[in-house]
């Protein structure tokens, strides 16, 4: 379990980037954090694996405190982080070299490394690109390589910081579906950080951040129907919720809808 216990962090003295943050991510759980620019989302990503250390409170990974120097390496093994721009994470001249980089650093034998790379690249559908340069891949394919580079290390938790922000809508949906399938198949806990409302619909729970503070935590259906809450956090409401709320006000339907397909089905049936 990743556990943030009353965590506060400031880059500059007196100006908190995040303040009094509490939440947990269990294995097999998909937890999303949503918020606008400057809400502290990326700071939380960097606190999750010990890249940053809190000035107040504690971050625990399977009961190991990120402040404990003796556990620093083990925490980084357990928590893999994927950032927004995959180009910033590439180090190899080929896709295979890039995925293998982390394994080489921890001394994994070549036979084992090859087996891991084959399995993960097949799972992510990038095995045909292994011997090519990552620079020639599309944005979605590059992000899959970045995810593979983390998954091949066999972490217990994945932290994903705005990983679809630079992608087109089709690639965005493909990558997000892939992440959900990874959670189901590998029992990995995911902390998914985004500003895109549609991406949190299938989460187990959602945290809303605003100006470094958690202003609400709850089930997606509850969070996403609260347009006032999302607006205050600088996040766009779902079109399905906006439309269904207007229809509800006019007495055409009884409830708001998060899922647009459910809304369409209801309207067609009427």
Across the chain, mean pLDDT equals 91
Least confident span in 189-193, 222-226, 265-269: 265-269
Least confident span in 13-22, 170-179, 200-209, 255-264: 255-264
Per-residue pLDDT, 269: 78
Percent of the chain predicted with pLDDT > 90 = 60
First to last CA, the chain: 46
**Mean pLDDT across 135-151:** 90
Angle at 26 between CA 64 and CA 112, to 5 degrees: 75
Per-residue pLDDT, 185: 81
Read off the pLDDT band of 263 (50, 70, 90): confident
Per-residue pLDDT, 224: 94
Instruction: Return the residue matching tokens 């992000």.
Output: 143
Per-residue pLDDT, 168: 86
Q: In what order do the strands lie in the sheet with 64-65?
A: 15-25, 2-12, 56-61, 64-65
**Mean pLDDT across 96-112:** 89
Dihedral of CA atoms 4, 89, 203, 223 in degrees, nearest 10, equals: 70
Both tokens of residue 60? Answer: 């625990």
DSSP three-state, residue 215: strand
C-alpha 216/C-alpha 199 separation (Å) is: 17
User: CB-based burial of residue 1 (10 Å sphere; 0-12 exposed, 13-18 middle, 19+ buried)?
Assistant: middle
Per-residue pLDDT, 270: 66
Read off the pLDDT band of 54 (50, 70, 90): very high
Contacts of 160 (CB under 8 A, 6+ apart): 81, 82, 179, 190, 191, 192, 193
Instruction: Return the residue matching tokens 């011997």.
Output: 131
Instruction: Return the residue matching tokens 């809808």.
Output: 257
**Nearest one of 5, 17, 127, 16 to 57, comparing CA atoms:** 5
Q: What residue spans define the domains of the chain?
A: 2-219
Least confident span in 76-90, 116-130, 216-230, 245-259: 245-259
Neighbours of 228 (CB within 10 A): 8
pLDDT digits (tens, 9 = 90+) for 203-239: 999 999 999 999 999 999 999 999 999 999 999 998 8
**Quick one: fold of 2-219?**
Rossmann fold (3.40.50)
Percent of the chain predicted with pLDDT > 70 = 100
Length of the chain (residues): 270
Read off the pLDDT band of 82 (50, 70, 90): very high
**Mean pLDDT across 252-268:** 79
Max CA pair span of the chain: 66
Per-residue pLDDT, 203: 95
Instruction: Return the residue matching tokens 């962090």.
Output: 9
The residue that leads in pLDDT, 85 or 235, is 235
Angle at 56 between CA 55 and CA 60, to 5 degrees: 100
């Amino acid at each position: 379990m990743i556990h943030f216990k009353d965590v506060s962090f400031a880059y500059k003295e007196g100006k908190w980037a995040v303040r009094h943050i509490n939440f947990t991510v269990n294995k097999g759980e998909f937890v999303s954090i949503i918020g606008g620019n400057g809400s502290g989302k990326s700071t939380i990503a960097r606190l999750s694996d010990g890249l940053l250390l809190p000035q107040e409170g504690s971050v625990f990974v399977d009961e190991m405190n990120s402040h404990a120097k003796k556990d620093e390496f083990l925490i980084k093994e357990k928590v893999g982080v994927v950032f927004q721009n995959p180009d910033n994470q590439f180090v190899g001249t080929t896709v295979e070299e890039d995925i293998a980089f982390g394994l080489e650093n921890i001394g994994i034998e070549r036979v084992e490394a090859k087996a891991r790379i084959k399995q993960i690249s097949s799972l992510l559908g990038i095995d045909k690109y292994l011997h090519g340069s990552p620079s020639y891949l599309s944005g979605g394919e590059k992000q899959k390589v970045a995810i593979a580079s983390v998954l091949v290390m066999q972490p217990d938790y994945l932290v994903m910081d705005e990983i679809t922000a630079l992608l087109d809508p089709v690639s965005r949906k493909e990558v997000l579906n892939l992440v959900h399938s990874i959670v189901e198949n590998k029992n990995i806990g995911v902390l998914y950080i985004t500003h895109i409302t549609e991406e949190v619909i299938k989460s187990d729970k959602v945290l809303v951040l605003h100006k470094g503070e958690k202003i609400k935590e709850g089930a997606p259906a509850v969070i996403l129907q609260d347009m006032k809450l999302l607006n205050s956090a600088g996040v766009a409401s779902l079109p399905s919720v906006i439309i269904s709320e207007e229809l509800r006000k006019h007495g055409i339907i009884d409830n708001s809808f998060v899922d647009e397909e459910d809304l369409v089905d209801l309207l067609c049936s009427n």
